[in-house]
Protein backbone atom coordinates (compact mmCIF):
# COMPACT_ATOMS: atom_id res chain seq x y z
CA UNK A 1 0.00 0.00 0.00
CA UNK A 2 2.49 2.61 1.15
CA UNK A 3 4.64 1.88 -1.89
CA UNK A 4 2.03 3.61 -4.07
CA UNK A 5 1.36 6.62 -1.86
CA UNK A 6 3.67 8.88 -3.84
CA UNK A 7 2.21 7.66 -7.13
CA UNK A 8 -1.29 8.39 -5.85
CA UNK A 9 -0.40 11.91 -4.70
CA UNK A 10 1.28 12.63 -8.02
CA UNK A 11 -1.66 11.30 -10.02
CA UNK A 12 -4.26 13.21 -8.00
CA UNK A 13 -2.39 16.47 -8.56
CA UNK A 14 -1.94 15.76 -12.26
CA UNK A 15 -5.60 14.90 -12.79
CA UNK A 16 -6.71 18.02 -10.91
CA UNK A 17 -4.52 20.17 -13.17
CA UNK A 18 -5.93 18.50 -16.27
CA UNK A 19 -9.45 18.93 -14.96
CA UNK A 20 -8.96 22.68 -15.02
CA UNK A 21 -7.76 22.50 -18.62
CA UNK A 22 -10.75 20.39 -19.62
CA UNK A 23 -13.24 22.68 -17.91
CA UNK A 24 -11.80 25.73 -19.67
CA UNK A 25 -12.68 24.05 -22.98
CA UNK A 26 -16.02 22.70 -21.74
CA UNK A 27 -17.24 26.13 -20.64
CA UNK A 28 -16.35 27.71 -24.00
CA UNK A 29 -18.21 25.19 -26.13
CA UNK A 30 -17.86 22.99 -29.19
CA UNK A 31 -16.32 25.54 -31.54
CA UNK A 32 -13.30 26.02 -29.28
CA UNK A 33 -12.99 22.27 -28.77
CA UNK A 34 -12.79 21.63 -32.54
CA UNK A 35 -14.59 18.26 -32.38
CA UNK A 36 -13.71 15.91 -35.23
CA UNK A 37 -13.62 12.19 -35.98
CA UNK A 38 -10.37 10.26 -35.97
CA UNK A 39 -9.45 8.25 -39.08
CA UNK A 40 -10.52 4.64 -39.58
CA UNK A 41 -13.54 4.91 -37.28
CA UNK A 42 -11.38 5.76 -34.29
CA UNK A 43 -14.05 7.85 -32.60
CA UNK A 44 -14.30 11.55 -31.77
CA UNK A 45 -11.47 13.78 -30.59
CA UNK A 46 -11.13 17.41 -29.51
CA UNK A 47 -8.27 19.80 -28.82
CA UNK A 48 -8.76 19.07 -25.14
CA UNK A 49 -8.18 15.34 -25.71
CA UNK A 50 -4.81 15.92 -27.34
CA UNK A 51 -3.65 18.68 -24.98
CA UNK A 52 -4.51 16.70 -21.85
CA UNK A 53 -3.15 13.45 -23.31
CA UNK A 54 0.22 15.11 -24.02
CA UNK A 55 0.30 16.75 -20.60
CA UNK A 56 -0.33 13.48 -18.76
CA UNK A 57 2.01 11.34 -20.86
CA UNK A 58 4.86 13.87 -20.59
CA UNK A 59 4.43 14.12 -16.81
CA UNK A 60 4.28 10.35 -16.28
CA UNK A 61 7.34 9.66 -18.43
CA UNK A 62 9.33 12.36 -16.64
CA UNK A 63 8.34 11.16 -13.15
CA UNK A 64 8.40 7.39 -13.81
CA UNK A 65 10.80 6.86 -16.74
CA UNK A 66 11.04 3.09 -16.26
CA UNK A 67 7.27 2.58 -16.52
CA UNK A 68 5.22 1.90 -19.62
CA UNK A 69 2.50 4.30 -20.73
CA UNK A 70 -0.49 3.47 -22.93
CA UNK A 71 -2.60 6.52 -23.74
CA UNK A 72 -5.60 6.79 -26.03
CA UNK A 73 -4.31 9.70 -28.09
CA UNK A 74 -0.68 8.55 -28.37
CA UNK A 75 0.77 6.29 -31.03
CA UNK A 76 1.01 2.68 -29.81
CA UNK A 77 4.50 1.38 -30.53
CA UNK A 78 4.09 -1.58 -28.17
CA UNK A 79 6.84 -0.41 -25.80
CA UNK A 80 4.37 -0.22 -22.88
CA UNK A 81 4.14 -4.02 -22.77
CA UNK A 82 7.69 -4.70 -21.54
CA UNK A 83 7.82 -2.94 -18.13
CA UNK A 84 6.28 -4.54 -15.04
CA UNK A 85 4.43 -1.30 -14.35
CA UNK A 86 2.24 0.39 -16.94
CA UNK A 87 0.05 3.49 -16.82
CA UNK A 88 -3.22 3.60 -18.78
CA UNK A 89 -4.45 7.07 -19.71
CA UNK A 90 -7.79 8.27 -21.05
CA UNK A 91 -7.56 12.07 -21.30
CA UNK A 92 -11.28 12.55 -21.99
CA UNK A 93 -13.46 9.47 -21.66
CA UNK A 94 -16.85 10.34 -23.14
CA UNK A 95 -15.67 12.87 -25.71
CA UNK A 96 -19.09 13.31 -27.33
CA UNK A 97 -20.65 14.01 -23.94
CA UNK A 98 -17.86 16.50 -23.29
CA UNK A 99 -18.28 18.27 -26.63
CA UNK A 100 -22.06 18.51 -26.21
CA UNK A 101 -21.76 20.27 -22.87
CA UNK A 102 -23.00 17.31 -20.83
CA UNK A 103 -21.53 16.19 -17.52
CA UNK A 104 -20.98 12.47 -18.26
CA UNK A 105 -17.24 12.44 -19.02
CA UNK A 106 -14.06 11.74 -17.12
CA UNK A 107 -10.32 12.16 -16.99
CA UNK A 108 -8.75 8.92 -15.79
CA UNK A 109 -5.35 7.45 -15.05
CA UNK A 110 -4.73 3.88 -13.92
CA UNK A 111 -1.61 1.93 -13.01
CA UNK A 112 -1.16 -1.81 -13.46
CA UNK A 113 1.64 -3.73 -11.76
CA UNK A 114 2.26 -7.10 -13.37
CA UNK A 115 -1.01 -6.68 -15.27
CA UNK A 116 -3.04 -6.08 -12.08
CA UNK A 117 -4.86 -2.74 -11.66
CA UNK A 118 -3.29 -1.30 -8.49
CA UNK A 119 -4.08 2.41 -8.68
CA UNK A 120 -6.90 4.38 -10.23
CA UNK A 121 -7.96 8.03 -10.28
CA UNK A 122 -11.18 9.05 -12.05
CA UNK A 123 -12.19 12.71 -12.15
CA UNK A 124 -15.62 13.80 -13.40
CA UNK A 125 -14.96 17.57 -13.49
CA UNK A 126 -18.34 18.78 -14.73
CA UNK A 127 -20.25 16.52 -12.33
CA UNK A 128 -18.05 17.35 -9.35
CA UNK A 129 -16.92 13.79 -8.56
CA UNK A 130 -13.38 12.62 -7.78
CA UNK A 131 -12.69 8.95 -7.00
CA UNK A 132 -9.40 7.21 -6.28
CA UNK A 133 -8.05 3.88 -5.07
CA UNK A 134 -4.86 1.98 -4.38
CA UNK A 135 -4.62 -1.77 -3.87
CA UNK A 136 -1.90 -3.80 -2.19
CA UNK A 137 -1.56 -7.52 -1.42
CA UNK A 138 -3.28 -7.18 1.96
CA UNK A 139 -4.90 -3.74 2.02
CA UNK A 140 -6.91 -1.42 -0.17
CA UNK A 141 -8.05 2.19 -0.04
CA UNK A 142 -11.02 3.38 -2.10
CA UNK A 143 -12.36 6.88 -1.54
CA UNK A 144 -14.34 9.60 -3.23
CA UNK A 145 -14.73 13.31 -2.73
CA UNK A 146 -18.25 14.62 -2.57
CA UNK A 147 -19.22 17.68 -4.63
CA UNK A 148 -19.36 19.64 -1.35
CA UNK A 149 -15.78 18.69 -0.44
CA UNK A 150 -16.15 15.86 2.09
CA UNK A 151 -14.65 12.39 1.65
CA UNK A 152 -16.40 9.02 1.99
CA UNK A 153 -15.47 5.43 1.05
CA UNK A 154 -16.40 4.00 -2.31
CA UNK A 155 -19.07 1.37 -1.70
CA UNK A 156 -20.52 -0.81 -4.47
CA UNK A 157 -24.05 -1.89 -3.59
CA UNK A 158 -25.92 -5.09 -4.31
CA UNK A 159 -29.63 -5.39 -5.03
CA UNK A 160 -32.23 -7.99 -5.91
CA UNK A 161 -32.92 -8.34 -9.61
CA UNK A 162 -36.29 -6.72 -8.99
CA UNK A 163 -34.51 -3.57 -7.79
CA UNK A 164 -31.43 -3.74 -10.00
CA UNK A 165 -30.19 -0.45 -11.46
CA UNK A 166 -28.26 -1.11 -14.67
CA UNK A 167 -25.91 1.41 -16.24
CA UNK A 168 -24.60 1.16 -19.79
CA UNK A 169 -24.21 2.86 -23.12
CA UNK A 170 -26.73 4.82 -25.14
CA UNK A 171 -29.90 2.91 -26.02
CA UNK A 172 -29.70 3.25 -29.78
CA UNK A 173 -32.29 1.19 -31.74
CA UNK A 174 -29.81 -1.61 -32.53
CA UNK A 175 -27.81 -1.34 -29.31
CA UNK A 176 -26.90 -4.52 -27.42
CA UNK A 177 -28.03 -2.66 -24.30
CA UNK A 178 -31.63 -3.64 -25.04
CA UNK A 179 -30.74 -7.34 -25.02
CA UNK A 180 -28.63 -6.91 -21.87
CA UNK A 181 -31.48 -5.16 -20.08
CA UNK A 182 -33.95 -7.88 -21.03
CA UNK A 183 -31.57 -10.68 -20.02
CA UNK A 184 -31.23 -9.15 -16.55
CA UNK A 185 -34.94 -8.43 -16.26
CA UNK A 186 -34.39 -4.70 -15.90
CA UNK A 187 -37.16 -2.32 -16.89
CA UNK A 188 -36.41 0.72 -19.04
CA UNK A 189 -37.01 2.90 -15.98
CA UNK A 190 -34.12 1.18 -14.17
CA UNK A 191 -31.64 1.35 -17.07
CA UNK A 192 -29.40 4.40 -17.09
CA UNK A 193 -27.45 5.41 -20.19
CA UNK A 194 -24.26 7.45 -20.43
CA UNK A 195 -21.54 7.61 -23.06
CA UNK A 196 -18.46 7.28 -20.84
CA UNK A 197 -17.22 3.87 -19.71
CA UNK A 198 -15.43 5.60 -16.84
CA UNK A 199 -18.66 7.18 -15.61
CA UNK A 200 -20.50 3.85 -15.87
CA UNK A 201 -17.91 1.89 -13.91
CA UNK A 202 -17.34 4.60 -11.32
CA UNK A 203 -21.09 4.78 -10.75
CA UNK A 204 -20.88 1.10 -9.77
CA UNK A 205 -17.93 1.83 -7.47
CA UNK A 206 -19.92 4.62 -5.79
CA UNK A 207 -23.07 2.52 -5.47
CA UNK A 208 -25.08 4.85 -7.72
CA UNK A 209 -25.69 1.87 -10.04
CA UNK A 210 -25.58 -1.84 -9.24
CA UNK A 211 -24.32 -3.39 -12.47
CA UNK A 212 -22.51 -2.40 -15.64
CA UNK A 213 -22.49 -4.84 -18.56
CA UNK A 214 -20.69 -4.09 -21.83
CA UNK A 215 -21.15 -6.32 -24.85
CA UNK A 216 -18.09 -7.36 -26.88
CA UNK A 217 -16.99 -4.45 -29.01
CA UNK A 218 -14.61 -1.55 -28.78
CA UNK A 219 -13.95 -1.03 -25.04
CA UNK A 220 -10.25 -0.43 -24.51
CA UNK A 221 -7.78 -0.87 -21.69
CA UNK A 222 -7.54 2.89 -21.12
CA UNK A 223 -11.33 2.97 -20.67
CA UNK A 224 -11.29 0.40 -17.89
CA UNK A 225 -7.99 0.32 -15.96
CA UNK A 226 -8.59 3.18 -13.52
CA UNK A 227 -12.25 2.38 -12.73
CA UNK A 228 -11.41 -1.32 -12.40
CA UNK A 229 -8.92 -0.41 -9.67
CA UNK A 230 -11.67 1.59 -7.93
CA UNK A 231 -14.20 -1.25 -7.99
CA UNK A 232 -11.76 -3.96 -6.93
CA UNK A 233 -10.36 -1.85 -4.09
CA UNK A 234 -13.90 -1.15 -2.90
CA UNK A 235 -14.77 -4.84 -2.77
CA UNK A 236 -16.59 -5.25 -6.08
CA UNK A 237 -15.76 -7.43 -9.07
CA UNK A 238 -14.81 -6.71 -12.66
CA UNK A 239 -14.57 -9.49 -15.24
CA UNK A 240 -15.27 -10.19 -18.87
CA UNK A 241 -18.54 -11.84 -19.88
CA UNK A 242 -17.04 -15.30 -19.30
CA UNK A 243 -16.14 -14.39 -15.72
CA UNK A 244 -12.37 -14.02 -16.24
CA UNK A 245 -10.44 -10.98 -14.99
CA UNK A 246 -9.78 -8.30 -17.60
CA UNK A 247 -6.40 -8.87 -19.23
CA UNK A 248 -4.28 -5.70 -19.31
CA UNK A 249 -1.37 -7.44 -21.03
CA UNK A 250 -3.35 -8.98 -23.87
CA UNK A 251 -2.18 -8.79 -27.50
CA UNK A 252 -5.00 -6.36 -28.32
CA UNK A 253 -5.81 -3.19 -26.35
CA UNK A 254 -9.52 -4.00 -26.85
CA UNK A 255 -11.35 -6.23 -24.36
CA UNK A 256 -12.71 -8.85 -26.79
CA UNK A 257 -15.17 -10.48 -24.38
CA UNK A 258 -16.87 -7.41 -22.98
CA UNK A 259 -16.95 -6.15 -19.40
CA UNK A 260 -19.09 -6.83 -16.32
CA UNK A 261 -18.78 -4.77 -13.11
CA UNK A 262 -20.84 -5.24 -9.96
CA UNK A 263 -20.89 -5.74 -6.23
CA UNK A 264 -18.92 -8.92 -5.65
CA UNK A 265 -21.70 -11.02 -4.14
CA UNK A 266 -24.11 -10.58 -7.05
CA UNK A 267 -21.57 -10.99 -9.84
CA UNK A 268 -22.01 -14.70 -10.50
CA UNK A 269 -25.79 -14.27 -10.72
CA UNK A 270 -25.34 -11.53 -13.34
CA UNK A 271 -22.99 -13.74 -15.36
CA UNK A 272 -25.45 -16.63 -15.16
CA UNK A 273 -28.31 -14.54 -16.50
CA UNK A 274 -26.10 -13.22 -19.28
CA UNK A 275 -24.87 -16.67 -20.35
CA UNK A 276 -27.40 -17.36 -23.17
CA UNK A 277 -26.56 -14.01 -24.77
CA UNK A 278 -22.84 -14.51 -24.27
CA UNK A 279 -22.93 -17.94 -25.89
CA UNK A 280 -24.52 -16.33 -28.94
CA UNK A 281 -22.14 -13.36 -29.05
CA UNK A 282 -18.92 -15.28 -28.43
234 contact partners, CB below 8 Å, separation of at least 6: 133, 140, 142, 153, 154, 155, 156, 205
Q: Would you state the pLDDT for residue 173?
A: 78
Three-state secondary structure call for residue 99: helix
CATH for 2-153? 3.30.540.10
Cβ-contact 67, 85 below 8 angstroms: yes
Q: Would you state the pLDDT for residue 2?
A: 53
Q: For residue 254, give the DSSP letter.
A: B
Our CA angle for 220, 17, 208, nearest 5°, is 55
Of 143, 126, 10, nearest to 67 by C-alpha is: 10
**Distance, CA of 264 to CA of 136 (rounded, Å):** 18
Q: Boundaries of CATH 3.40.190.80 in the chain?
A: 166-281
Q: Boundaries of CATH 3.30.540.10 in the chain?
A: 2-153
**Distance, CA of 167 to CA of 181 (rounded, Å):** 9
Q: Which fold has domain 166-281?
A: D-Maltodextrin-Binding Protein; domain 2 (3.40.190)
Q: Is 181 left (phi over 0), alpha (psi -120 to 50) or beta?
A: alpha
Rounded to two decimals, the pTM is 0.96
Q: Would you state the pLDDT for residue 1?
A: 47
Q: Would you state the pLDDT for residue 30?
A: 83
pLDDT tens string, the chain, 282 residues long: the values are 458 999 999 999 999 999 999 999 999 998 899 999 988 777 899 999 999 999 999 999 999 999 999 999 999 999 999 999 999 999 999 999 999 999 999 999 999 999 999 999 999 999 999 999 999 888 899 999 987 888 999 999 999 999 999 999 888 777 899 999 999 999 999 999 999 999 999 999 999 999 999 999 889 999 999 999 999 999 999 999 999 999 999 999 999 999 999 999 999 999 999 999 999 999
How far, in Å, are 104, 138, 181, 202, 215 from residue 178 at the CA level? Answer: 20, 39, 5, 21, 11
**Distance, CA of 154 to CA of 151 (rounded, Å):** 9
Cβ-contact 56, 109 below 8 angstroms: yes
Amino acid sequence: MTALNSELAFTLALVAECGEIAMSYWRRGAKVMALRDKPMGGGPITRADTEINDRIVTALRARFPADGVLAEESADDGSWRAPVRCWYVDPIDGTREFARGRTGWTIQIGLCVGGEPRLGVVLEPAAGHLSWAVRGPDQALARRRLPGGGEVPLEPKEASFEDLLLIGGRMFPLSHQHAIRRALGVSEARARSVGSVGVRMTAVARGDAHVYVQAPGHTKMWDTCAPTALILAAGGRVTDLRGDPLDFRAPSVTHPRGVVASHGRMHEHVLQRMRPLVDRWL
